[in-house]
Amino acid sequence: MKVFVFGATGSIGKNFFSLLKYFPEIKPVGIQAHKNEKKLIKIKRKYHIKKAFLTGERVESKEISSNKENLLEFVMSKQVDVVLFGASGTELADIFIEILSSGKKICMANKEIIIAFGEIIKKKKGNNLLPVDSEHSSIFRIIKNLEKKEIKKIFLTASGGPFYNLKKTELKKIKKEEALKHPRWKMGEKITVDSATLINKGFEVIETHYLFDIEPERIDVLYHPESKVHGIVLLKDGTYISHIGETDMRIPILYALFYPEQREFRIRKKFYENLNFSEIKKEKRKLIDLCFKALKDKKGKPAFLIGADEALVNLFLKGKILFTDIEKILLKIYKKAPEFNDEKFEEVKKAIETGKKYVYEELKWFSQ
Ligand code: NDP
Ligand code: MG
């Protein structure tokens, strides 16, 4: 299996490469990263990878290229069987949509693109799009043999992140290092902060809608601190199906790569520790509810949120704003968000940029 890996230098990339020793039939033939040239070259040499692309810088050398046309040409060629899309952000949305439209199999970890460009993607996708986000991978496994009318509700589980039980006054003092310590998953910085504010779960609601074409009224979120059950589906006859697995991203990556086949991969841990579920506390739901609202409002609102949240998380990571400012500013600027035609690519890009712009405008006002 010849694989092209977007986001090879990140956390999804790391999980992918750690699968290679178990599955010699997986052959990485191409890799992409944004700016980390050193690490990209290291990976290229270590795994004897044919092509490496750095899309966030201008480089042209024997080992690395930043030419996006060449990248696309290579990915679309017969030299690549499967794409693992683990690059973050929305900058490569055009490339993603081209690959998706070509019918090539694409295992999708990135959620920002699905959320922001959902209205465009839903018309282009066939069954070549496989979810890698753990909750969506679980839901996919559960519903793939169900008819849509049999599904009453889809529940996504939320670990709650590291601060679920902290009060607002305590949250204000949160430092970057604390926000980057997720209790269950080891992931990139942006998604880890998103998990701590719980907007990640709201984003995953929107992602669920666009991946599985399920209305927002039929999606809900549950607090499940052990992160063992990743998805639950309520059926028409009142019974539930859930999927249990370790918190290990290699599992959904492996499943998507080989789907419809399943490979042997044993993580020998117990699944029968105490499993707890409850509704998400009201005061922790604010950003989840905002995402539900954006999904219902549509008209570029999910893209606006993606842009605004990206800007805010960056500012928090740079120590420029408080942890609690992320929620506060998102709730505030959303009210002023303009409408965009979400079926047009350029308009969605504008919605994302507008989200970022509103954050900076709001902060200027803040500091006066
Ligand atoms: P990381 O921050 O660890 O890695 C991001 C990767 O994307 C790096 O290879 C980085 O390259 C590249 N990248 C960064 N910015 C851009 C950009 N503007 N354009 C193109 N590529 C870029 O993130 P994760 O691996 O944690 O997450 C990747 C994606 O997968 C995200 O969309 C995330 O939401 C999703 N996801 C991740 C999970 C996880 O367990 N990590 C779980 C579920 C979803 P460079 O190193 O050069 O900056
Ligand atoms: Mg997830």
pLDDT score at 366: 59
User: How many Å apart are CA 45 and CA 52, to the nearest integer?
Assistant: 10
**Rounded mean pLDDT for each run of 10 residues along the chain, 368 residues in total:** 98 98 98 98 98 95 95 98 98 98 97 98 94 98 96 97 91 90 85 96 98 97 95 98 95 98 88 90 96 98 98 96 97 98 98 98 74
Q: Is the dihedral of CA 192, 194, 197, 200 positive or negative?
A: negative
State yes or no: cis peptide before 24, omega within 30 of 0.
Answer: no
Taking residue 188's Cβ as centre, other Cβ atoms within 10 Å add up to 17
Strand partners, 32: 6, 53
Tokens for 262, please give them: 């399943």
Partners of 221 in the beta sheet? 156
Name residue 110's beta-bridge partners: none
Torsion 345-348-353-354 (CA) sign: positive
- Ligand 1 centre from 97 Cα, in Å? 17
The H or E element that residue 139 is part of is: helix 134-143
DSSP 68: H
Distance between CA atoms of residues 316 and 4, nearest Å: 32
Q: Is the CB of 172 under 6 A from ligand 1?
A: no
* DSSP structure string for 80-148: -SEEEE---SSTTHHHHHHHHHHT-EEEE---HHHHHTHHHHHHH--TTEEE-SHHHHHHHHHHTTS-G
Task: Report whether residue 341 contacts ligand 1, using a CB cutoff of 6 Å.
Answer: no
pLDDT of the residue at 368: 46
Q: Is the CB of 67 under 6 A from ligand 1?
A: no
**Ligand 1 atom index nearest CA of 203:** 34
What's the Cα-to-Cα distance from 61 to each of 10, 44, 73, 192, 241, rounded to whole Å? Answer: 22, 13, 18, 34, 52
User: Residue 115 Cα, ligand 1 centroid: separation in angstroms?
Assistant: 15
Domain positions in the chain are 2-131
Ligand nearest to the CA of 161: 2
Written in H, E and C, the secondary structure of 224-262 is CCCCCEEEEEEECCCCEEEEECCCCCHHHHHHHHHCCCC
Global pTM? 0.97
Strand order in the sheet with 240-244: 240-244, 229-235, 151-158, 219-223, 278-279
Smallest-distance ligand from the CA of 71:
1
6 Cα–ligand 1 center, Å: 8
| Closest C-alpha residue for ligand 1 atom 7 | 87
Please check whether residue 203 is in contact with residue 223, taking contact to mean a CB–CB distance below 8 angstroms: no
Atom of ligand 1 nearest to the CA of 13: 25
**354 near 315, Cβ under 8 Å?**
no
Ligand that comes closest to the CA of residue 138: 2
- Residue 202's pLDDT is 98
Beta-bridge partners for 131 = 108
Residue located nearest, by CA, to atom 5 of ligand 1: 10
DSSP 265: -
CA 136 to ligand 1 centroid distance, Å: 17
Q: Which of 12, 59, 140, 194 gets mutated to test ligand 1 (max ligand atoms within 8 A of its CB)?
A: 12
CA gap 154, 291 in Å, rounded: 16
**250 in ligand 1 pocket by Cβ < 6 Å?**
no
Among 88, 92, 134, residue to substitute to test ligand 1 (most atoms within 8 Å of Cβ): 88
Q: Say whether domain 2-131 belongs to CATH 3.40.50.1980.
A: no
Ligand 2 center–CA 61 separation, angstroms = 36
Which of 219, 222, 265 is CA-nearest to residue 245? 265
pLDDT for res 185: 78
